[in-house]
């Protein structure tokens, strides 16, 4: 995942929880720079072995799905030859 995309995902997830958390912790919320928090989370994820493994597995899964799509396209091509529309 590109850093920009990862940053967007982290930002979205943080935003989805921030409002409720800020109600319970208004002074902390006012003191925390959300952009720095997002940047720190992105950096921590990039360094996390489990995250890197999950991303590696996602890349493999994506490659498998692409290969499956190519197989289905080939099957469709053959079926179309055998039984034209």
pLDDT exceeds 70 at position 1: no
Question: pLDDT tens digit string along 52-71?
Answer: 999 999 999 999 999 999 99
Token pair listed for 12 = 């979205």
Residue 76 to residues 48, 66, 67, Cα–Cα distance (Å): 42, 15, 14
CA distance 67 to 61: 10
In this structure, are 37 and 55 located in the same domain? Answer: no
Question: pLDDT tens digit string along 33-52?
Answer: 999 999 999 999 999 999 99
Q: Which domain holds residue 32?
A: 1-47
In this structure, are 62 and 72 located in the same domain? Answer: yes
In this structure, are 1 and 41 located in the same domain? Answer: yes
Q: With contact defined as beta carbons under 8 Å apart, do 10 and 42 qualify?
A: yes
């Amino acid at each position: 995942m590109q850093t920009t995309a990862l940053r967007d995902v982290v930002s979205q997830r943080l935003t989805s929880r921030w409002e409720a958390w800020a109600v319970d912790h208004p002074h902390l919320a006012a003191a925390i720079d959300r952009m720095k928090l997002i940047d720190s989370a992105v950096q921590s994820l990039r360094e996390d072995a489990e995250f890197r493994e999950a991303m590696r597995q996602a890349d493999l899964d994506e490659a498998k799905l692409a290969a499956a799509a190519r197989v289905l396209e080939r099957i469709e091509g053959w079926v179309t030859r055998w039984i034209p529309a």
